[in-house]
Amino acid sequence: MSFILKTSLALLGLLAVMSCETADDNNIEQARQCLNNASQIATGNPPQVTTAANIARTSCEPLIANVQSAEAGSIGVGIVLVEEGKLNSLTSIQTAVSNGTSAVTTSISYLVFQTSSDITTITTYAQRSGDPSEIQLAAIVTLAYYVNIASGGNLNSGSTPAQVSGYLAR
């Protein structure tokens, strides 16, 4: 075989492999990189939570908003957590639970979202992901939102498990 023919066949094979990636695959990869960037900003020193939230909302989320895969759902959950400024809360929850406080009441006090639309969005992404942990996280976020309403807007990360339980009893 001539050099030109071999080179042409090799290029055609390479193009066939490269064309296996869909637009959704490319969007997922771009969204993952965008989320990593926003997460680093949100947890940096000092944290730039508002900047990270804006990046997540305007640059990351549009990439996967219409992608229906489980992977896009998981990335979407992370994006919404950045949008709501909750990445640092996850570490605080882990520390509090490790110190023996109730996992659910502690999680509720740290995961109060500011907007009901973000609750709907994280629930949608969690369901899309199919991951039981992400679905449970979305359920806790939803519960936290309604507990905060019951508390008159007084629920925050400083709320004790006893206070959260009292708000739940209302």
What pTM, to 2 d.p., does this model score?
0.83
**Paired tokens of 51:** 């900047």
Distance CA 104, CA 132 (A): 16
Domain locations along the chain: 7-168
Residue 64: CB atoms within 10 Å: 26
Distance CA 10, CA 80 (A): 43
**Paired tokens of 157:** 């990360």
**pLDDT per residue as tens digits for the range 96-140:** 778 877 788 888 888 999 899 999 999 999 999 999 999 999 999
Distance CA 63, CA 28 (A): 7
**pLDDT per residue as tens digits for the range 21-62:** 788 999 999 999 999 999 999 998 888 999 999 999 999 999
